[in-house]
Amino acid sequence: MAHTDSGMELHDRFAIPGVLRIGAGNGELPCITVTAEPASAEIYLHGAHVTHFQPRGSTPLLFMSKSSQFAPGKPIRGGIPLIFPWFGARASDKTSPAHGFARLMPWDIESADLRADGSVRVVLTLASDDATLAQWPHAFSLRLIVIVASFLDITLEIRNRSAQEMQFEEAMHTYLKVGNIRQTTVEGLADVELVDKVAAGERRKESSEPIRFLGETDRVYLHTTSATTVRDVANSRLITVEKEGSDATVVWNPWIAKAKAMADFGDEEWPDMLCIESANALDCVVTLAPSATHRMRAKISVAPL
Ligand code: BG6
């Protein structure tokens, strides 16, 4: 299996001179560094985790915590954690890792290509094994297709390799870097039904106004396929998250107390980030027939305000 290869062996197999290299990143974890004509990016094989994306001539789009761990079996804080096969705490077993195991596992590289338009396409894979089957009784294979263009285009493919239907939740838990959360607003979720995790799971409808942030925010918006736009006023930019195959959107900022309570998140970092997660979670769980494949895709782009 490729995930037993060292960064150097992977580099020899997949490097693209001047554009893509593979080496040891933080915590010595294997990391793909892309320096393409339209953008730069970094992808850790641990969790197939995009930790950096920056269009040329622009500033970084993704927030990364300075307190993040980079260690086998631990989640990375920031970038784009991939959530699968359950979202948040597992309802049937609180001792299972929050947000599933996909973000905690080493993925393999399937391919890395420079395309005619200068963008780079990287495909990573993860398959069920004895360790995942011990936690979740379904055989599966995952592919993550990352396109580093002037925008970031990510597709998570999930194939059911078992003989039974399988039900799962998933998310691209995207940490956007914002200049100041207090000056940030979100559009695209007007009038949508939501589950408010800060209010003990209360269900209500979002207002028709842009969303503003005045305290801890942890909401799962249900049955929405709309694009979301983030007005990052302090950075004079508009970030757009378009999506396909995703019926839920999660909006999260921990604010002061929760930031302090998280060991792998700086006490003062909460004003600098906002999670907009393309997801299928809670009422929007996915049921997949044997041999069927589900695809969820997000395209994240930035424009001046
Ligand atoms: C969000 C959840 O998606 O992720 C929050 O809605 C949670 O409830 C947050 O706190 C971070 O989760 P974790 O496991 O990465 O600390």
**CA 78–ligand 1 middle distance (angstroms):** 11
Q: Which helix (H) or strand (E) holds 153?
A: strand 152-160
CA distances from 84 to 81, 148, 263 (A): 10, 23, 23
pLDDT value for 6: 64
Q: Is 218 in the pocket of ligand 1 (CB under 6 A)?
A: yes
Alpha helix stretches (DSSP H) within the chain: 7-14, 130-135, 255-261
Of the candidates 152, 192, 189, the residue with the CA atom closest to the CA atom of residue 172: 152
CA distances from 42 to 17, 22, 129, 211, 214 (A): 16, 10, 26, 30, 32
Taking CA atoms only, the protein residue closest to ligand 1 atom 7 is: 88
> Which of 252, 274, 275 has the most ligand 1 atoms within 8 A of CB, as the residue to mutate?
252
**CA 99–ligand 1 middle distance (angstroms):** 8
**CA 88–ligand 1 middle distance (angstroms):** 6
Q: Which residues contact 119 (CB under 8 A, 6 or more apart)?
A: 36, 38, 147, 148, 149
Alpha helix stretches (DSSP H) within 143-265: 255-261
Phi and psi torsions of 89, nearest 5°: -70, 140
Q: What is the pLDDT along the chain (305 residues), one digit of tens a residue?
A: 444 466 789 999 999 999 999 999 999 999 999 999 999 999 999 999 999 999 999 999 999 999 999 999 999 999 999 999 999 999 889 899 999 999 999 999 999 999 999 999 999 999 999 999 999 999 999 999 999 999 999 999 999 999 999 999 999 999 999 999 999 999 999 999 999 999 999 999 999 999 999 999 999 999 999 999 999 999 999 999 999 999 999 999 999 999 999 999 999 999 999 999 999 999 999 999 999 999 999 999 999 99
Q: HSE on the CB side for 291, CA within 13 Å?
A: 0
**Positions marked active-site:** 173, 277
Q: Which atom of ligand 1 is nearest to the CA of 220?
A: 6
pLDDT value for 2: 45
Burial per residue of 103-127, b for 16 or more beta-carbon CB atoms within 10 angstroms, e otherwise: bbbbbbbeebebeeeebbbbbbbbe
**CA 56–ligand 1 middle distance (angstroms):** 30
Beta bridge partners, 123, equal 111, 145
**What is the DSSP secondary structure assignment for residue 134, as one 8-state letter?**
H
Q: Which helix (H) or strand (E) holds 35?
A: strand 30-35
pLDDT value for 246: 99
Of the candidates 198, 203, 232, 231, the residue with the CA atom closest to the CA atom of residue 216: 198
Let me know if 1 is exposed, middle or buried by CB neighbors in 10 A (0-12, 13-18, 19+).
exposed
Q: Are 203 and 193 in contact (CB under 8 A)?
A: yes
Q: Is 277 in the pocket of ligand 1 (CB under 6 A)?
A: yes
Q: Is 173 in the pocket of ligand 1 (CB under 6 A)?
A: yes
Phi and psi torsions of 137, nearest 5°: -85, 50
Q: Is 250 in the pocket of ligand 1 (CB under 6 A)?
A: yes
pLDDT value for 127: 98
**CA 49–ligand 1 middle distance (angstroms):** 16
Q: Is 252 in the pocket of ligand 1 (CB under 6 A)?
A: yes
Show the tokens assigned to 193: 């039904």
Q: Which atom of ligand 1 is nearest to the CA of 98?
A: 14
Show the tokens assigned to 63: 């927030």
Q: Are 169 and 83 in contact (CB under 8 A)?
A: yes
Taking CA atoms only, the protein residue closest to ligand 1 atom 13 is: 98
